[in-house]
């Protein structure tokens, strides 16, 4: 009789519950970013399931939005960095570059 294989150990820092647990975030994509909505999204809004421990950058990657194009990111109405971890039910608003400006940052 064949013996069952032992379970693979979890990588350091990752518990079994964390590995399997997903969370749902609500997206609000503005302007041209609406083209990156996942299936089922409408009017710039959608829900997205991501693994526990996901960050804003993970969401951008899942959507295919280059991080450097997301100029303004809000999580629950507050400024957020790309490395901010997310929690179940968080609302993420993502804005593209709005207009104008200079690559050098100087005004004319």
* Helix extents (H) in 1-108: 16-20, 56-63
pLDDT at 79 over 60: yes
Q: For residue 46, what pLDDT band results from cuts at 50, 70 and 90?
A: very high
Name the percent of the chain lying above pLDDT 70.
72
Distance CA 25, CA 48 (A): 5
- When divided into structural domains, the chain yields a total of 1
Residue-number span of the structural domain to which 72 is assigned:
30-95
Q: Look at residue 7 in the predicted model and tell me its pLDDT.
A: 45
Q: Look at residue 104 in the predicted model and tell me its pLDDT.
A: 56
pTM over 0.85: no
CB-based contacts of 69, cutoff 8 Å, min separation 6? 96, 97
CATH number of the domain to which 60 belongs: 3.10.20.30
CB 58 within 8 A of CB 49: no
pLDDT at 108 over 90: no
Distance CA 91, CA 64 (A): 18
Token look-up 């109405």 returns 77
């Amino acid at each position: 009789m064949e013996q069952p294989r032992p379970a693979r150990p979890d990588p350091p820092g990752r518990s079994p519950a964390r590995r399997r647990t997903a969370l749902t975030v609500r997206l609000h994509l503005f302007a041209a970013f609406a083209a990156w909505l996942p299936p089922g999204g409408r009017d710039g809004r959608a829900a997205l399931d991501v693994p526990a421990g996901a960050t804003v950058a993970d969401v951008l990657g899942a959507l295919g939005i280059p991080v450097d194009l997301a100029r303004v990111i809000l999580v629950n109405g507050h400024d957020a960095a790309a490395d901010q971890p997310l929690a179940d039910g968080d609302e993420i608003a993502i804005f593209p570059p709005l207009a104008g400006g200079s690559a050098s940052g100087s005004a004319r």
